[in-house]
Every structure is written in structure tokens, then in C-alpha cells.
Amino acid sequence: MADLVTQDRAETAADMPALAVELHPGGAGWCVRADNLGLELTAPLGRRVESLLRVTVAEPGASDDNDGDVPDISGDHELLGDGVRFIPHLPFEMGVPFRAILDLRELRQPGLTDVKTLAFSFPEETATSETEVSHVYPSNDVLPENLLRFYVRFSNPMRRGQAQENIEILGPDGTPAADVLYRVPVELWDGSMTCLTVLLDPGRLKRGVGPNRMLGPPLRAGQPYTLAVGTGMIDAYGRPLRDGFSKSFSVSEPVRKPIAIEEWKIRPPAMDSRVSLQLTFPRPLDWAQLWRGITVVSESGNAIGGHIDIDPGETRWRFTPDAPWQGGLYSVRVVPGLEDICGNTPYGPFDAALWSTGEMGLETAVNSISFEVKVS
């Protein structure tokens, strides 16, 4: 469903040339149609058809920003007997004021000297709820000194381009702490544009690397900090956030050891039930990777369908199967490179001493846990 708003400025008799916005009968979306041109439009019109019916953006930018030679909207023209239709290459954008211009002089017929215009737009659909930060992960309020990233989730889809100016870490004195966050070359959004990855500067996290030696780690154990998200983050509807958001946290000692899968606690479910399989981790794991980094497979190696829940704190992962558990052996498989909140993996810590190729422990790390479903 979409609203179309047209703004009429002229009185026109029914048999006079007329402009209209309509849905293309062939399914090409909204287009502009000129009718009653009073003659059969045929090939001799040639490229003049592009001047006969044009559609423009009413205000693409400030008028002194260019030399006046602003293009029309890119589109195709279809000849329709005594009419012509303009089909934009990109669909008309909601909220943008357009103007269709029918320049009858291009027909080169005596008496046809009018230039008719039609203003139209499609009002922007706006989500009913205002946009806010809905969650930040990790969800704990005590975070290790070598924390690698935050995920900031928003209640509505967002637009790109505002993160660097609006997301910062406030230091113990409440003022922005410089060079704590990594300036990524591309803002790291998920496909739905509701989840933004915010990295702490890896050059400051890794001991011995230049920025670390110059500036030290981005966070200091024992100090309080705040992740602040400003209202200048713009949602998909062009609106700022309802409120700024802040997450205060204190900083604990760094964690520089591999994920030890053998230390995970597993609570196997009972046969014929749909009770969830539960894994408990000794320390928080990366929230986003937990959704995709752990799978459950049967003894024959087939993946089991189901859904995942992650408890606050990111130390408990629960898997509820679509179908009741059948008796037998299963295993929990962990993807290579699953990370904790500091970027440590089962193969090694994020910040380790120099390794050479072949010493990464790829062969030795545990990456699955077996369990058995029995009659309860």
C-alpha cells in the first residue's frame, strides 16, 4: 500500500492533454503518463520524446551547488497512441517531491505551446515507534580490559554514515576517550541495518603493536567507562534517535587464553522431549557468533533443526529442537574461529606471542562435544 499525493495547479478539460501518475499495467511500478496529445506519436518524434515528457526531482540540492545543468530522472519512454509513458529506472522514492513536465512544443504542432506540470510525491511511511537503542552486547557491566567489540542493536532499521560522529567511549572523567574505537573503512552493519559492530582499536589491544606501545590499551582495568550513542544516529525513516543511549561499565583484568571447549558444561535433554540442550560457558562468548557458531548434529552427521536462545550475560546457550529428541549420540560442533568477547578462539588467544605457520594449534584444539540422549 502506498499513498500518492498529487498537486494540481491547472484546470483542464477532459479532452485536453493531461498528466497522471499511475501504476504501470505491466508491473513496472509507478510511472507518469501523458494523454490526449491529439495525434498519433510515431517514430519521427525520435529522441524528442525525452524532452516531451520529463520527470525531475523538485529540489535535489541547493541551486548554487551546480551549474544549472541538472539531469532529469533516468527512465524509459513508452509511446501509447496519442500518449506517452515515463517509467523511472529506479522506483520513485518515498518522501521526495517530484515534478512531471509535459512540453507540448516538442510536438511541433501549431497551437501546441503549453508546458504542463504535475507535482507529486509518495509520503514516506514511518514506523509507528520512535527508534532507540534496544540492546548492547556484551550485556555485562563488567568487561575485560581487552574487550574487542560491542554490538549495538537498534529498534528500527538505520541509515549508514553517522556512527563515527555519534558513538564514543567516555572515559573515567566523563569526557570522550580518544582513539579507543577503531575507525573502520566501512560501517559494519548487519543485513537488516539494525545491528552495528563497534570495534575497539585492535592496534591498542595487541601488546607490543605500535599504537599499544604509544597509547596503551584502549580501556584500563579498574576504571569506569561509558559507551555513549548520540541521538544523531539516523534511522531508515530519516529520524534521529528518541533518546541518547549510554551503557556504563567497569573494566576487569584482560583475558588472554583460548576458549577451552572442554570446560563447557553441557546439560543433555531427555528423549522424546523438546527440552532444550543447554551449554554453559565459564566466560562470556561473542553474542553474534553464538547464533551461528554452534550447531548440533546427529551421530550420522546430519544437522538438527531448531532454534537458539542466548541468555543475558552470554554465558549460556540453549538449543530447542524443532522435533522431539530421539535417543542416540549427538555432538555439538563449534565452528573454527568462534570468539569470546576478547577475540580469543579455541585455537589461541587474540593477543599471543609470535606464532609461525603450523604452530597455531589447528590440529589440537577441541571443536566438538559429544552427548547422548537417553530415556529420562
- Residues of span 184-223 touching other proteins by CB under 8 A: 184-186, 188-193, 195, 197, 199, 202-203, 205-211, 213-214
Window contacting other proteins (CB under 8 A); options: 26-34, 44-52, 138-146, 254-262: 26-34
x/- letters, 67..106, toward other proteins (CB under 8 A)? x-xxxxxx-------------xxxxxxx-x-x--------
Q: Would you count residue 311 as binding other proteins (CB under 8 A)?
A: no
Grid cell 579455541 in the structure block, residue? 346
**300 counts as binding other proteins under rule CB under 8 A:** no
112: contact with other proteins by CB under 8 A: no
Q: How far apart are CA 285 and CA 365, in angstroms?
A: 17
266 CB-near residues (< 8 Å, 6+ apart): 277, 278, 279, 280, 332, 369, 371
- Distance of alpha carbon 39 from alpha carbon 83, whole angstroms: 8
Give the integer Cα–Cα distance in Å for 55 and 19: 11
Q: Is 363 in the site for other proteins (CB under 8 A)?
A: no
Residue whose CB is less far from other proteins, 213 or 248: 213
Out of 45, 118, 152, 167, point to the residue binding other proteins (CB under 8 A). 118
The residue from 61, 128, 363, 364 that contacts other proteins (CB under 8 A) is 61
Among residues 29, 222, 313, 327, the one that binds other proteins under rule CB under 8 A: 29
CA 357 to chain centre: 35
CB 224, min distance to other proteins, A: 26
Question: Coil, helix or strand for 39?
Answer: coil
CA dihedral 257, 260, 265, 266 (to 10 degrees): 140
* Residues binding other proteins: number (CB under 8 A): 123
> Residues 271, 277, 280, 285: what is their CA dihedral angle, to the nearest 10 degrees?
160
Beta strand 53-57 with 368-373 is unpaired
| Binding pattern for the stretch 278-297 against other proteins, x by CB under 8 A and - elsewhere | --------xxxx-xx--xxx
User: How many CB atoms are located within 10 Å of the residue 271 CB?
Assistant: 16
Tell which one of 48, 50, 139, 159 touches other proteins (CB under 8 A). 159
Q: Which is nearer to other proteins, 231 or 250 (CB)?
A: 231
Q: Is 111 in the site for other proteins (CB under 8 A)?
A: no
* List of residues 6+ apart from 302 with CB closer than 8 A: none
Query: Is the torsion defined by CA of 57, 59, 65, 67 positive or negative?
Result: positive
Which grid coordinates are listed for 350? 587474540
Give 298's Cβ-side CA count (13 Å radius).
Answer: 12
For position 326 contacting other proteins by CB under 8 A, the verdict is no
Based on CB atoms, which residue is closest to other proteins, 249 or 350? 350
Pick out residues in 248-267 that bind other proteins (CB under 8 A): none
Q: Considering beta carbons, is residue 47 or 89 the nearer one to other proteins? A: 89
DSSP state of 52: H
Nearest approach, Cβ of residue 334 and other proteins (Å): 13
Residue 83: name the closest of 112, 118, 49 by CA.
49
CB of 201 to other proteins, least distance (A): 9
Based on the shown chain and the rule CB under 8 A, indicate whether residue 304 belongs to the binding site for other proteins: yes
